[in-house]
Amino acid sequence: MDSVDLEVLKSSARWLAEGHRALLVTVVKTWGSSPRPEGAMLAVRDDGLVVGSVSGGCIEDDLIDRVRQKGIEQTRPEAVKYGITAEEAHRFGLPCGGTIQLVLEPLAPQSGIAELCDAVEDGRLVARELDMASGAVQLGTAQATDGVLFDGERLLTIHGPRYRMLVIGAGQLSRYLCQIAVGLDYQVTVCDPREEYTEEWDIPGTKIVRTMPDDTVTDMKLDERCAVIALTHDPKLDDLALMEALKTPAFYVGALGSRRNNQARRERLKEFDLNDTELARLHGPVGIYIGSRTPPEIAVSILAEVTAAKNGVSLPTLLKVEGAKAAREIAASGDATCSV
């Protein structure tokens, strides 16, 4: 779930508690290009205050103007479309003549928004089903692979953490990486059995465990929506996690270190009965090449590569740390040869 959309829910719950009315707007279908994906949300308060986004801004302006002019009169949800004609697409800022369908839902205490916020903040993945005819809402358990469903009669949306991240090591780099990962809506677990690193761990939104890394990987039952990043530089810890993680469906498994260290790591992992296909899944050196030197920059580099893997983007070799550095060395040796 997008953190922006969680803020929409939290703001909506607060407005209702304060006695305001609110309109919850959800993207349910798009045609052509669209600035926001299905499931994206916006909330408009009865005085026109807004939080969230469903487009580049023009649709938001139209919705705000609608509320300010007429208030929130409706008592039942309704579906509307924007950008059906080329003129409307231009007016509402939809690229390439795209079309977007929204569900406008007037909220009330029985809409279950406060309960939904509590469940999401508790780390649960929740399905919210809205009956379009009555406005009745049901909350239930969801699966990570579930998505937005709208058939004109009901709207099913999924809320909560879709992706999990296991970070091995609670050092300085892990602190920066985990802060960003929480902002990217990962459910973050940090594993480090070394007390000297975990005693002062205080990153909000993360869980710290002190079990051995291989046991942690096994206990978490990693699936295709999980990422594992080993950051300790200690083979006794990193290798334990990697040898188990590479056997799982996790979409990303990576380890920090130089090219030489990562080659040595691959040789060590062969001794744990990992086959060539499993070893080929290891990202190392971890991250994309952006010339990063400081821990915050390295964290950005790593999470950029994780994000690409999550979104199914295959990065060219020259963007990866190993490929970029090898290319620089080749270029430098060529310059040296030319100067002789």
Cα angle 22, 27, 28; round to 5? 120
Number of domains forming the structure of the chain: 2
Task: Write the CB contacts of 200 (distance below 8 Å, at least 6 apart in sequence).
Answer: none
- The reply to whether 54 falls in a domain is yes
3-state helix, strand, coil in the chain (%, to 5): 40, 25, 35
Same domain, 144 and 257: no
Residue 91's pLDDT is what?
Answer: 64
Residue 299: other Cβ atoms inside 10 A: 24
Same domain, 131 and 22: yes
- The reply to whether 338 falls in a domain is no
- The reply to whether 334 falls in a domain is no
User: DSSP labels for 195-220?
Assistant: HHHHTT---TTEEEE-S-HHHHHHHH
Same domain, 144 and 198: no
Same domain, 86 and 180: no
| Averages of pLDDT over each 10 residues, the chain, 340 residues | 78 96 94 77 94 83 90 91 69 66 94 93 88 96 86 93 90 96 90 93 93 96 93 93 95 93 90 89 92 94 95 82 73 56
Residue 340's pLDDT is what?
Answer: 42
Same domain, 135 and 172: no
Q: Of 136, 159, 182, which residue constitutes the final position of a domain?
A: 159
Q: Of 159, 175, 199, which residue constitutes the final position of a domain?
A: 159
How many residues are recorded in the chain?
340
Q: pTM for this one?
A: 0.67
Same domain, 63 and 181: no
Residue 339's pLDDT is what?
Answer: 45
CA-wise closest residue to 37 among 157, 203, 206, 177 = 157
Same domain, 143 and 187: no
Q: Of 129, 159, 189, which residue constitutes the final position of a domain?
A: 159
Residue 324's pLDDT is what?
Answer: 75
Give pLDDT tens digits for 211-222.
999 999 999 999
- The reply to whether 329 falls in a domain is no
CATH number of residue 175's parent domain: 3.40.50.720
**Cβ distance 178 to 206 under 8 Å?**
yes
Give pLDDT tens digits for 111-151.
999 999 999 888 788 999 999 999 999 999 988 778 899 99
Distance (Å, rounded) from C-alpha 140 to C-alpha 129?
A: 8
Domain of 271, in residue numbers: 163-323
Same domain, 114 and 262: no
